[in-house]
Amino acid sequence: MTRRLVVLGSGSIGTYVGGALLDAGADVVLIGRERMRQRLLQHGLMLSDMQQREVRLAGSDVPYHLDPHVLASADLILLTVKSSDTAAAAGLILQHANPVAPVLSLQNGIGNVVTLRQLLPDREVLGGMVPFNVVQTDDGRLHRGTQGELMVEASPLLAAWLPLFASAHLPLIERTDFLEVQWGKLLLNLNNPLNALSGLPLKTQLSQRAWRSCLALLIDEALAMLDAAGIAPVQVAAIPPRRLPLLLRLPDWLFKRIAAKMLRIDPEARSSMWEDLQAGRQTEIAYLNGAVVALAASLGRAAPANRLLVELVREAENGAARQWDGIALLQALHRA
């Protein structure tokens, strides 16, 4: 019997994941916004990655919908909405979806799974982590510009889906320590606002010591809060979390030699937060650097560097963007 997978929130990540599964022969339906539907009608579905894999499908062959009623046909729901839209998405699931269809959250930040379980108490909700970024290119492609594999909360509910994801070159790595996985990913995502404020491609930005030193400072602050909370972040990239700040502060020539894996980034890649600011959309800053600020507050502490990044991105969201250079921002972070 064919089992249907519905992707709710098919922007860049959701359309990339759903499109790869569709190309692998899955029964997939995508639900998203008009702008992505128009993009698919204009360009078709074109996916690419750093391994030169490509997917090309006619836009008419992609079941992309604006109507959430198609949730009723889902056997598994992949949730890829922005964190600020989690509550609204839960309402759509509650209203339209089969009550036995589990939800797999493939969202950035901390707290989405908790919110979903509170709002959907009778439904199975699983956490997931997407380590790579997807950028929308001018020629219509959705390009995966960084590496890494999907990590998910271990569950027997996923057993029937594992071969399908593997055949789509999106293997699901099951984990029992998912909160620690989320924090491990979030430490890396603290670079998202830095990249957005820099205006530079990720590879260019991370090749500059001043920008890396900004990231090191943010990670140091976050690690201090995690230590105080008794949370040990999991390594989700090539470098263990506690070695990251030291490595990031190395001179450029030494960093490029020692941390070559970190710079295995497509020259086109940028953070999703940069993309959001360019499009005039609200970012996920509250769920990234804001999560560090919230954790600090819960401990009766402060996280001034991460708080400053939240403030700067909020200014940019309101049209008061300033394009920073790494040295100036590093000085501002030290003053904070």
Please provide the average confidence, as pLDDT, over all residues in the chain. 93
Q: What is the pLDDT of residues 143-190, one digit of tens each?
A: 988 888 999 999 999 999 999 999 999 999 999 999 999 999 999 999
Nearest to 96 by CA among 73, 120, 127: 73
From residue 141, give the alpha-carbon distance in Å to each of 137, 177, 300: 5, 34, 46
Name the residue with tokens 């980034």: 265
Q: What is the pLDDT of residue 1?
A: 59
Please indicate whether residue 89 or residue 133 has the higher confidence score (pLDDT).
Answer: 89
Q: What is the pLDDT of residue 214?
A: 98
Structural domains in the chain plus CATH codes:
4-176 (3.40.50.720), 181-335 (1.10.1040.10)
Q: Which helix (H) or strand (E) holds 246?
A: helix 244-248
Beta strands in the chain (DSSP E): 4-8, 27-31, 45-48, 54-57, 64-65, 76-79, 103-106, 125-129, 134-136, 142-144, 150-153, 172-175
| 114 HSE (CA, 13 A, CB side) | 7
Long-range contacts of 318-323 (CB under 8 A, 24+ apart): 321/197, 321/277, 322/197, 323/197, 323/198, 323/199
Q: Which helix (H) or strand (E) holds 186?
A: helix 178-189
Q: What is the pLDDT of residue 260?
A: 79
pLDDT of 16 over the 70 cut: yes
Q: What is the pLDDT of residue 239?
A: 86
CA 24, 29, 35, 39 torsion: positive or negative?
positive
Inter-residue contact 258 to 288 (CB < 8 Å): no
Q: What is the pLDDT of residues 248-290, one digit of tens each?
A: 999 999 998 888 777 777 777 888 899 889 888 899 999 999 9
Q: Rounded distance, CA 304 to CA 6, Å?
A: 40
Inter-residue contact 43 to 59 (CB < 8 Å): yes
